[in-house]
Each structure stands twice: as C-alpha cells, then as structure tokens.
Amino acid sequence: MAKVTIDGVEIEVPDGTTILNAARSVGGDIVPPAMCYYSKLEGSGGKCRTCLVKVTQGSTNDPRPMPKLVPSCRTNVMDGMVVENTTSPDVLEARKGVVEFLLINHPLDCPICDQAGECDLQNLGYKHGKEATRYEEERRTYEKIDIGDKIKLHMDRCILCYRCTFVGEQLTDERKHGVINRGDHAEISTYIEKNIDNEFSGNMIDVCPVGALTDKTARFGSRVWFTKPMDAHRNCTSCSGKVVLWMKGEEVLRVTGRKDQYGEVDSFICNTCRFDKKDAKEWTIEGPRHINRKSVISANHYEHLKEIKEDIVKYQKQIAEKINKG
C-alpha cells in the first residue's frame, strides 16, 4: 500500500496505482481531467497531456520533486508522494495551454455536432479554456469518411487520443484502422479503404471523447439534451446487453454503453445491440439513467418526472380551490 497526498487529500492505494486512479478513488475536484486515458483499454493514456500534475515530493525515500509535470494517468504513486493538481498554478497554466492546443485546429462546430452536450473537449474547454482564440491561421481540414457502414469519421474534430485504435486492437480480431501521417497531419484512417465490420467496432464511438466518430444510424437525430437516457437490457448472446437507450417519446434514437462519471463505459456492447435494436419493445427498460458526469446533460430532470407531475396536479388543485373560494 502507498500513501499519497493529492491537493492536500491523503489517500491510501495499492502499489502500482496511477496518480489519476488514486485521485478517482476519492473523486471530486482533485481528479485531473483525462482525454486519452481509458481505464479499460490497455496502453492508453499519456498522449493528450491534460492530466499533467506536479509532483512536489517523489516519495518518502526520495523526497526530491519531479523536474517536469508528469502525466498522472501514466505515473505510478509512491509511498509518501505529494501531488499538486488544481492547487498548482503551473499545472493550471499548462492545462490551459493544452486546451488551447487541442482547440486551435478543432472546427468548433458544436452547433451541428452530435457529440455536443456530452463532449469531453467541450467540458474541458468550458472549464480550462479561454473565451477567445489567439489562433489566426487557417485550420486544417479533412474530408469526412465512412469507416464501415455504421460509423462516420469527422477527422477535423479528432484530437488523436488513439482510443479507437486501441478498441480496434483489443476488442476486435483484426485491426483495420490506425494513424497515418505524422505531426498535425496525422489522421485516423482505415487500411486502404477497408471497411470495419466487426461485432464490437461500434465501441469506438463510445470511447471517442469528441464528435470525431459518430453513429450513422443516429446522426442528426436530436440534440442529446432533448433525449432522455433510459437504462435497459436484453438477452444478448455476444455482449452483456446492458445499455442506455436515448429516447424521444417512445422512439429509441440511439443506443450506447453505460458511461460512468469519467465517460467510460461499464461494459462494451455489440453492434447488434447498438445499431439494430431501435425498437423499445425489444428492450426491458429499467428506468431513467442518472448522469453524473460534469456536463450539460447531467441535470437529470427526467428522473423526477413523476414527482413533477404530482406537483403539478397538486398545484392545479390548490389553484382550483382558491378560485372556487373566490
């Protein structure tokens, strides 16, 4: 076990835990944001640099501070380590820089982007970004392409977190896509226009932190905040079948995995559940999904619809009584 202090909060975690996971075990403001790390994908993390933290004391045995800011998702805790996240001005400054870098070539097309409302980059931008850009140059653009018949790739929006390539590598039998070119011309692409047709390929939509990979069966269906998420399940032979249905009235617009407060799914779901079961009758609906991510969609008003309805009836009665009394 190792004792680590993050922003003044003392935590005891098993050896070999990363700083990020140690912080997540407590939760709250001490958790650094992460755009590329995904706990369920091996080898992910370290690339986006939003989770940089300052280590002011390496360990009890070696109390020297680390010379540079370290990525908390890839740095293991040591006994006696002291970490500064939001309490360090250096970290906040670096994070601001990273957010600015991520946004300079981003098209900022949130008004027409399906991910808007549940986008990690949007949330990060609101929290750590500046109100105006200093970037006056032309943004780089790409053509939109279809990777597989169910997934659309908007490379303009991609932040190159590499998560989808890890999905391709670790969830599917045959990886057909990856990163080509380098520097700011790097892009996600398929191997010579190959189609991605694997039962679990749809999960790359769920792991994408931005709107680069979107579900073609649900694109432009509705803004996410006009839909209500419902936990549902069905008997599925290839996956757990536990999903979230994003519904408008009785209509199922979109099916996704169940994401936790850090935007990570509990279990990966198969393409049949995701793309083909768009009828509410095929699902056993458990109830409204509680969204606890820091996002515009976490108002969770639909959870209380029943009470609100009762309230309205109550008030209507009261008003009616008043009128009757005259």
The footprint of another protein (CB under 8 A) covers 45-50, 52, 68-69, 71, 74, 93-94, 97-98, 100-102, 104-105, 134-135, 137, 159-160, 162, 178-179, 181-186
Query: Is the Cβ of residue 137 or residue 143 nearer to another protein in the bound state?
Result: 137
Q: What's the rounded Cα separation, in Å, for the pair 185 and 183? A: 5
Burial class (CB in 10 A: 0-12, 13-18, 19+), 71: buried
Residue 195 Cβ, how far from another protein at the closest point, in Å? Answer: 22
Bridge partners of 285, per DSSP, are: 232
Query: Is the Cβ of residue 3 or residue 49 nearer to another protein in the bound state?
Result: 49
Residue 69 Cβ, how far from another protein at the closest point, in Å? Answer: 6
Other CB atoms within 10 A of residue 3 CB: 15
Residue 46 Cβ, how far from another protein at the closest point, in Å? Answer: 4
Half-sphere exposure of 43 (CA within 13 A, CB side): 9
Residue 113 Cβ, how far from another protein at the closest point, in Å? Answer: 19
CA distance readout (Å), 5 to 35, 60, 70, 85:
23, 12, 15, 10
Residue 263 Cβ, how far from another protein at the closest point, in Å? Answer: 18
Bridge partners of 254, per DSSP, are: 246
Burial class (CB in 10 A: 0-12, 13-18, 19+), 307: exposed
Q: What's the rounded Cα separation, in Å, for the pair 312 and 316? A: 6
Contacts of residue 315, defined as CB under 8 A and 6 or more positions apart, other chains included, come to none
Query: Is the Cβ of residue 48 or residue 113 nearer to another protein in the bound state?
Result: 48
Query: Is the Cβ of residue 161 or residue 218 nearer to another protein in the bound state?
Result: 161
Query: Is the Cβ of residue 80 or residue 178 nearer to another protein in the bound state?
Result: 178
Strand, helix or coil for residue 55: strand
Residue 47 Cβ, how far from another protein at the closest point, in Å? Answer: 5
Query: Is the Cβ of residue 25 or residue 133 nearer to another protein in the bound state?
Result: 133
Query: Is the Cβ of residue 61 or residue 181 nearer to another protein in the bound state?
Result: 181
Give one DSSP letter per residue of 108-167, joined into a string: --GGG-TTTTS-HHHHHHHHH--SS----SPPP----EESSSSEEE-GGG-----HHHHH
Residue 16 Cβ, how far from another protein at the closest point, in Å? Answer: 12
Tokens representing 49 are 């640099």
